[in-house]
Each structure stands twice: as structure tokens, then as C-alpha cells.
Amino acid sequence: MAHRGARATIADVAREAGVSKGTVSMALTGRGRVAPGTREKVLEVAQRLDWVPSARARSLSTDRADALGLVLAREPEHLGADPFFAPFIAGVEAALSPRGQALVLHVVTTPAEEREAYRRLAAGRVDGALLTDLRVDDERPALLADLGLPALAVGHQRSTTSASPLPQVALDDRTGVRAAVDHLVELGHRRLAHVTGSQQLVHGVDRLEAFRDAVAAHGAALDAPTVLDGDFSAASGAAAAHRWLADRTARGAAAAPTALVVANDLMATAALGVLAAAGVRVPAEVSVTGFDDAPLAAHLSPPLTTVRSDAAAWGRAAADALLDLLEGDDDRGRPAAVADLPAARLAVRGSTGAPPT
């Protein structure tokens, strides 16, 4: 219920009507197809709560924009080095073009710029938005709901505050991390280290948890694992390799981790460069695995063992799913469930081998 004296929001209407914010948005703006009974209930609740659209929401028309929005919060130079987003965006475009749709892309560097980008998208420029780089307790779903902009999450969601997650297209990357750990254990490794991704991002948390769970599953057969902090950037991968080198010098080769399970290929590639410059032989002295199977992963020296995720297929699936949701009809008044993509698989190459004896 809206607070006394406060203007009712879409969230208030959704709560009173027992439907999602996205359904309220579609019912009130005429976008998408909503069951007649659901639409009537939403309109009755909106009238009873004296709901009034914001100026930006009022500017939305019933005409479709025939476009989806994507906002990427990162430095432009970092985006260019990221091996995931180029094929992902290509996949999105491959899905949109045959359906007469376009992609509106914003690259921003600050939280304020990000919020403003979503406000511009909601002012009639797009019909829905794809949310990537999902954060723990992400505030963007609530922002988009208040703006009346339907959205789909690209990846798993983690929230301790929201009971209404967005529909999603996600990849089971935990299976791939477990496969990397199992592969290394089969080769004879007993001392493993994980180079993490950012712990502010859900997939960074997921991959660290999957690594710890996989190590724990092998019980006393493995030593306590080492965790080296990273943030998915090349610089953090290089820094993690330097920390491994310092640790090996301090503890001796007999006590240092013999394998690095790295949370993405960009960090793994940077780590390989540092190890090569230090004269460390991979995999004779240390094995390295990555995640993403970037186009260059198979052409490194040595070729990188990595978890294969098809970013282009993910982009196509996400764009198709969001368009289907915008055009769909859900009698339950909730966004239709979207099935996860097939689990990520391990591609074994030359960067992994038996541990040094």
C-alpha cells in the first residue's frame, strides 16, 4: 500500500493487483498482450489508488518503438578488450534484424549516467531492456519497474531484498567450474587456486562458490584452496599471477598451488603473459584454466583450457526471449518463465597437465 500522502507507484499497483510490475506496465501502456481479466484488475487498482504516471511514463505511447535497449556500465577501452560482449551483441543483432527490430546501446561510466540512460530508454526509445552484468542486490530492476520499462535479466539474479526477480535467460556456469576442478584433480593436482571475478557481480560470486563447492566435494584429497582476488579485468589477472609468483617464492614450489582456476579468459590470458615473462612453464610448472572460450583462447601459447560459453547464442536467446515476452500473453499475470541455456562445458587444451613432481 502506498504511504499516506505519497503518490502511488507502479510497485504499489502491482502489489495490490497481485501481478508483476512488468504486467502492470503492459496493462497501463497497452504494450504487449495481457489477459483481459488481468488488464481490468490492474486498471481498477490503478484507479482506486489514484495512480498517476510520471512525465516520462506518460510520454510512452501505445506505438511500439521496435527496439530493445542495452546499457553497459564500463570504460569504453575496457569494453573493447572484453571477449564476451562483442559476440553477445552480435547475437542480439542476429535475433533482432529478422524481426525488424533494432538495438539501442548506451555505454556509460558512472551510476548517474547509467540511471539517466535508462530514463532516456524508457521515454519511448525502446520497448524493453536487456540487463547484463547482474549485481548482487541489483537496483536496476526496481528502477526499470518504476519507469514502466519491461526488462529481461541476462544471467542469474541474487537479491536479499526483492521477491520479484525479472524473467531471465541464464547459463549454468557452475557446472563448467566444477568440470575444470574435476579435470585438474584427475590430472593429479592437489593444491588449487581460484582467481576471482568481481564479487559485486553475480557471476563472480557464482564462480567462486562453484570453485569452493567443487574443492570441498573432493574432501581431504585436496589441500585448502587459495583465493586470489580479481575483478574480471586483464590487469587483475596479471596482478593475481604476480601474487602467485610471490607466494611460490615465499612458500617454495612444493607448497604453492599447482593450478590456477581463473574466472574468465581475459584474466587467464594476462596471467599466462606474466608467467611466460617470469620463465614459468605452463603446464609443466603450473596449469591454468579460464572461462568463456574467447575466440583467441585456442590460439594462445599454450592453448587455453577453458569453460565454453557461447556468447553469441546467449545474445540471440536473450533478445528472442524478451521480444516473446513483450508479445506474449500470460494469464497468471506474471512474466513467463524463461528456461536456462545448456550448461557450460569444459574445452581441454594445452594449458593444463599433470602437476610438477
Helix ranges restricted to H, the chain: 10-17, 21-29, 36-48, 55-58, 76-81, 85-96, 111-120, 140-147, 173-187, 202-217, 234-251, 265-277, 311-327
pLDDT of 223 higher than 60: yes
Give residue 74's pLDDT band: very low, low, confident or very high (50, 70, 90).
Answer: confident
* Whether residue 286 sits in one domain with residue 220: yes
* Whether residue 144 sits in one domain with residue 37: no
* Whether residue 246 sits in one domain with residue 182: yes
Query: Residue 349 in contact with residue 180, Cβ under 8 Å?
Result: no
Supply the pLDDT for residue 218. 96
Supply the pLDDT for residue 38. 85
* Whether residue 192 sits in one domain with residue 125: no
The DSSP result for 147-174, as a single string, is HT--EEEES----SS-S-PPPEE-B-HH
Average pLDDT for 73-86 = 79
* Whether residue 112 sits in one domain with residue 47: no
Higher pLDDT, 81 or 42: 42
Higher pLDDT, 46 or 222: 222
Q: What is the pLDDT of residues 103-142, one digit of tens each?
A: 999 999 999 999 999 999 998 889 999 999 999 999 999 9
What percentage of the chain reaches a pLDDT higher than 90?
63
pLDDT of 303 higher than 90: yes
Average pLDDT for 76-102 = 86
Rounded to the nearest 10 degrees, how much is the dihedral formed by the CA atoms of 14, 19, 20, 26?
Answer: -80
Cell of 12: 504499489
Does residue 146 lie in a domain region? Answer: yes
Supply the pLDDT for residue 327. 80
* Whether residue 316 sits in one domain with residue 226: no
Supply the pLDDT for residue 161. 67
- What are the strands of the beta sheet with 287-292, ordered from one edge? 226-228, 192-195, 259-262, 287-292, 305-308, 345-347
Supply the pLDDT for residue 20. 81
Average pLDDT for 1-17 = 71
* Whether residue 262 sits in one domain with residue 240: yes
Does residue 337 lie in a domain region? Answer: no
Q: What is the mean pLDDT of the chain?
A: 87
CATH number of residue 41's parent domain? 1.10.260.40
Q: At what angle do helices 111-120 and 140-147 cross, to 10 degrees?
A: 30
Supply the pLDDT for residue 324. 87
Count of domains forming the chain: 3
pLDDT of 261 higher than 60: yes
* Whether residue 323 sits in one domain with residue 296: no
Cell of 5: 500522502
* Whether residue 262 sits in one domain with residue 220: yes
Cell of 76: 569504453
pLDDT of 208 higher than 80: yes
Give residue 338's pLDDT band: very low, low, confident or very high (50, 70, 90).
Answer: low
Does residue 353 lie in a domain region? Answer: no
Q: How many CB atoms lie within 10 A of CB 101?
A: 21
Cα separation, 280 vs 272, in Å, equals: 9
pLDDT of 236 higher than 50: yes
Handedness of CA 39, 41, 45, 50 (dihedral sign): positive
Q: Is 196 exposed, middle or buried (0-12, 13-18, 19+ CB in 10 A)?
A: buried
Supply the pLDDT for residue 227. 98
Does residue 60 lie in a domain region? Answer: no
Handedness of CA 9, 13, 19, 23 (dihedral sign): negative
Q: Domain of 218?
A: 173-309
Does residue 5 lie in a domain region? Answer: no
CATH number of residue 221's parent domain? 3.40.50.2300
Does residue 182 lie in a domain region? Answer: yes
Higher pLDDT, 57 or 103: 103
Cα separation, 292 vs 290, in Å, equals: 7
pLDDT of 349 higher than 70: yes
Does residue 334 lie in a domain region? Answer: no
Does residue 157 lie in a domain region? Answer: yes
* Whether residue 262 sits in one domain with residue 227: yes
* Whether residue 97 sits in one domain with residue 14: no
Cell of 2: 502506498
Average pLDDT for 81-103 = 90
pLDDT of 81 higher than 80: no
Supply the pLDDT for residue 200. 94
DSSP 341: B
Query: Residue 130 in contact with residue 319, Cβ under 8 Å?
Result: yes
Q: What is the pLDDT of residues 152-205, one digit of tens each?
A: 999 988 876 665 678 999 988 899 999 999 999 999 999 999 999 999 999 999
Supply the pLDDT for residue 32. 57
What percentage of the chain reaches a pLDDT higher than 70?
88
Average pLDDT for 241-269 = 95
Higher pLDDT, 228 or 294: 228
Cell of 314: 546467449
* Whether residue 153 sits in one domain with residue 79: yes
Q: Is the omega angle on the peptide bond into residue 167 within 30 degrees of 0, that is, cis? A: no
Q: Are strands 67-73 and 102-108 parallel, antiparallel or unpaired?
A: parallel
Query: Residue 302 in contact with residue 349, Cβ under 8 Å?
Result: yes
Supply the pLDDT for residue 55. 40
Of 6-20, 78-92, 114-128, 306-320, the poorest mean pLDDT is in 6-20
